[in-house]
Structure formats: structure tokens, C-alpha cells
Amino acid sequence: MRDQPHTPHGRQAGGGLRHTLTTVEYFAFGFGSMVGVGWLVLMDDWLGRGGPGGAMLGFLLCGLLLLPIAATYGALVRRIQDAGAEIAYTEGVFPSPVSFAAGWTMVLAYAIVCPWEAVAIGNLLARVIPALDSWPLYAVAGKTIYAPRLALGLLLTALVALLNYRGIRPSGVFQDVTTFGLLAIFLVFAALGLAHGQASNLQPLFAHPGGEGAWLSTLLVLQIAFYFMTGFESVAKASEEARPGYDPRRFSRAMYLAVVAGLLFYVIVIGVVSFVYPWRAIVSGHIGTEAAFERAFGSRLIAQLIIVGALLSLLKVFNGNFMAATRLLFAIGRRGLVHPVLASVHPRFGTPSAAVTLLAVLTAGAALLGDAVLVPITEVGPLAGAVGWLAACLAYLARVRRAHPGHHRAEDAGARPVLAYTGALVSVAIIVMKVLPQVPGSFTGDEWAAFAGWSVLGLAFWLGRRKT
């Protein structure tokens, strides 16, 4: 692939985004955008779907299947450092509507995480501060919205928006602290769990009996695992903001490391939780990770330690996805595919100020609806991510064919085309799993409505650009 190092579309000389990020920050954004609080609040759901064996295998397979996609992104970002990522990769090789659709769909994969985390902070802290479940305001879809929880979510949204408004450096430092803080706490409670657990708690290994049950258990977890592993490619969205002299090969290393660290984190935490407390009791009692440890150890202190880790995890996944979504919005605006105001860069802080403000407003508005409305939208996440991954893999293959007609090799591209083909097949498989009604766990009417609504909104932006 002979593409020369790419200058981001529309960048103004002497202006634009700041250049301060290192490999540490890129790893923190990649890993941090993947691992949220699902490992604490959804452990009973994961074990109910697959049991310990099915859940661990599901996340392990997910991580391994994502490595070819990470390799493809690494090859692309090595040549094209652009906040638009999927938009930048597809433009010039596919029509503009395809490029816009890929980018717009990928925005959804990141943006929906933000209001979800704004709601989740109240759910998380209510586990240690029951008074947060007071002062009911209203109900949406049968779920009550409480004033203290809502206030916490809006306050967190304002904090993350302010960090990203003030500069990529503060956002990166915040990401480093929360990411490595979580990993330190994880090592402590994982070691304690391995030292005090019992193998009998893991039985039976799979939620569904028999050989077919083992496959079904793994499949049911694999479907949702892709949502919880989305985010490693956020590295590409911040690629314009690397420090001067940064070796582009390190982008792919950061993504590889993020994927491997993510799959190991999920596999280990599922195994440890099931090891310290009978997993069937976790499922039947809808017990969270911290409660399982508290009951197993008879100690409230270890439960509080795990909640602190979950809080750090929530903060970093919010910040990482906020960063990625705003960079995509910025890149879309820079290309004139939506109103160009989204391309505004703060003259002092070097941040996409208009995109940050827009996403903060959208996040706060969606947080007002509570988790009842956000659940079906969140289920769209794996499909949205897979669409972006597919676009990137196909764009890579198109660039290789354009550079070497009749050949299937890449010159100094950092990944073999076979990896891109594999990544494309994995992406198609994810999409098929979500859209075919015959597949367990596929889209329901609510998910289709959410995806259609986002698509219609994107179409309105696309058509409106011509009047700008």
C-alpha cells in the first residue's frame, strides 16, 4: 500500500489539534474505552448466559477474533493519522455517502456509552449510599428517575466535558490515572480471590447442558462480548494528537496491547468471581461482583475496594468514548459532511470545542431518560462497531488493490491482506448475528427502532449539508 503519510483533511497551517499523546495514553484510551462497569453490574447476566466456561470462552474468542481487525487498523493508522479514522480510510476509495455512513454509525458506538455511564454512576454509588434512591422525580418506561442520581450523572457529564474542552493533555492524564488505578485494584482482589476460592463453585462450567449447550453458552456470551470489547480502535481517533516525532508503528502496538489486556481482564475477572462464590447463586440472586466477594470473605472492605475500582473504570470508559466520539464528529464537520461549525477548534486549548459541547448536551439529554430507554440503544452497540470495523477492513483491501492491481500483498503496510479479509469476515458475522432473527440474542423491535432513528438522524444531517 503506497499511500504516503496522510495530512488530515482540512487542517489549517499553524492551527488544529494539539500534539501531546504518548503510547501510554494511547493504551489507556484503547483499554479504557473497552472496560467499563459491566464486569461489576452485569456479572449475573454473563454467567446466566454462559456459566463460567461459556463466559470466559466467549470473551477469549472475542478478543482473539478482534486481533485481525486491530492489525488492519494499525496498518491504516500508520499511513493515515486522521481523527476521522473510518471516514478517512474510506474516502477516496468509496463514495462519500459510504464514508459518511461508516463514520456516522461509528459515532453511535461511542456516543451511546456516554449517557449510559452518566446513568450508571448513580446505580453504582447507590450500592454504598442508599440515600441516593430518594427524591423521585418521574418515571420513564416504568423506571423511576431519582434526583440525586440524576444530579450525579449530570455533574459527571460536565466534568468529562470540561476535561475534554480544556485539552487532550488533561484528558490523557485523567485516562492514565483511572486506567492504571483500576488495574492496580484488579490485581489486588484477583489475587485474593484466587487464594481463597474453591473449584467446586465453578460447577457446572456451562449454563446449558451437553455438548450443544457448551456451544450455545459460548455463543450467547460472544454476541454481547463484542460490545464490551469495542473501543480499542479509539486509538485511531486520537492519532492526530500524537507528540512530535511519534513512531506511527506504536499505534498498532497500543491497540494490540489494549485488546490483549481487555480479554485477559474479562476472562480473569469472570473466573475469579465464579471461583470465590457459587455462580448459580450469583445468577439466582442477581448478585454483583462486589457482593459476591463480600459474602465470600465476610468483609465489607473488599466490596468497597471493588466499587472504587468500578468507579475508576466508569470514569475512564466515559472519558475514552467521549474523546473518540467528539473526534469523529469533528472530522465529519471538517469534511463539510455536516454543518462545518463542528470543525471548530478552540484557539487556546486546541480541542474540537463545538463537538465537545454538542456531545455534552446530547449526553445530558439522554441521561434524563434513564437506563430503561438506554438499554435497547446500547444493544445496538455491537452492530454499530461492526459496521465501522467492516468499513475499515474493506477500505484497507481496496487501497491494497489500488496500489498493487492483481496482487494481494501490501508493501510496508504493517499487516497482511489475509488479516483484513479475516477482520471483514468477523465483522460480517457480528452483523449477521444481530440482524438474523433465527440467531439467539438478535435484534428485537426496540433495537431496530433505535438503529433506524439514528440512521434517519444521520440522513437528515447528510441532506442538510448541501444547504450549508
- What pLDDT sits at residue 335? 87
Give residue 416's identity as a one-letter amino acid code: R
> Using CA atoms, how far apart are residues 367 and 416, in angstroms rounded to an integer?
43
What is the pTM for the complete model shown? 0.89
Share of the chain above pLDDT 70, in %: 92
- What pLDDT sits at residue 17? 82
- What pLDDT sits at residue 126? 87
- What pLDDT sits at residue 413? 45
- What pLDDT sits at residue 191? 93
Q: How many CB atoms lie within 10 A of CB 468?
A: 10
Span 277-314, pLDDT tens digits: 999 999 999 888 999 999 989 888 999 999 999 999 99
Q: Is the pLDDT of residue 127 over 70?
A: yes
Which pLDDT band, with edges at 50, 70 and 90, does 11 fall under? very low
Identify which has the larger pLDDT, 434 or 161: 161
Which pLDDT band, with edges at 50, 70 and 90, does 421 fall under? very high
Contact 465, 338 (CB under 8 A): yes
- What pLDDT sits at residue 31? 95
- CA-based radius of gyration for the chain: 22
Comparing CA positions, the residue from 465, 325, 335 lying closest to residue 11 is 335
Which pLDDT band, with edges at 50, 70 and 90, does 14 fall under? very low
* Residue 139 phi, psi dihedral angles, 5° rounding: -130, 145
> Using CA atoms, how far apart are residues 89 and 56, in angstroms rounded to an integer?
33
CATH superfamily of 23-467: Amino acid/polyamine transporter I (1.20.1740.10)
- What pLDDT sits at residue 452? 86
- What pLDDT sits at residue 42? 87
Q: Where are the domains of the chain?
A: 23-467
- What pLDDT sits at residue 445? 80
* Residue 447 phi, psi dihedral angles, 5° rounding: -70, -40
The CA–CA distances, whole Å, from 445 to 100, 414, 441 equal: 25, 41, 12
> Using CA atoms, how far apart are residues 130 and 222, in angstroms rounded to an integer?
34
Burial letters for 388-402: b for 16+ Cβ neighbours within 10 Å, e otherwise? bbbbbbbbbbbbbee
H or E segment and range at residue 145 = strand 143-146
Which pLDDT band, with edges at 50, 70 and 90, does 428 fall under? very high
DSSP string, 227-245: HHHTTTTHHHHTGGGBPTT
Q: Is the pLDDT of residue 112 over 60?
A: yes
> Using CA atoms, how far apart are residues 150 and 148, in angstroms rounded to an integer?
5
Comparing CA positions, the residue from 288, 268, 313 lying closest to residue 63 is 268
Q: Is the pLDDT of residue 98 over 50?
A: yes
- What pLDDT sits at residue 376? 65
> Using CA atoms, how far apart are residues 458 and 108, in angstroms rounded to an integer?
10
Mean pLDDT value of segment 243-272: 94
> Using CA atoms, how far apart are residues 143 and 108, in angstroms rounded to an integer?
24
Span 135-161, pLDDT tens digits: 999 888 788 899 999 999 999 999 999
- What pLDDT sits at residue 457? 86
- What pLDDT sits at residue 3? 44
Which pLDDT band, with edges at 50, 70 and 90, does 369 fall under? confident
Q: Is the dihedral of CA 88, 93, 94, 95 positive or negative?
A: positive
- What pLDDT sits at residue 408? 45
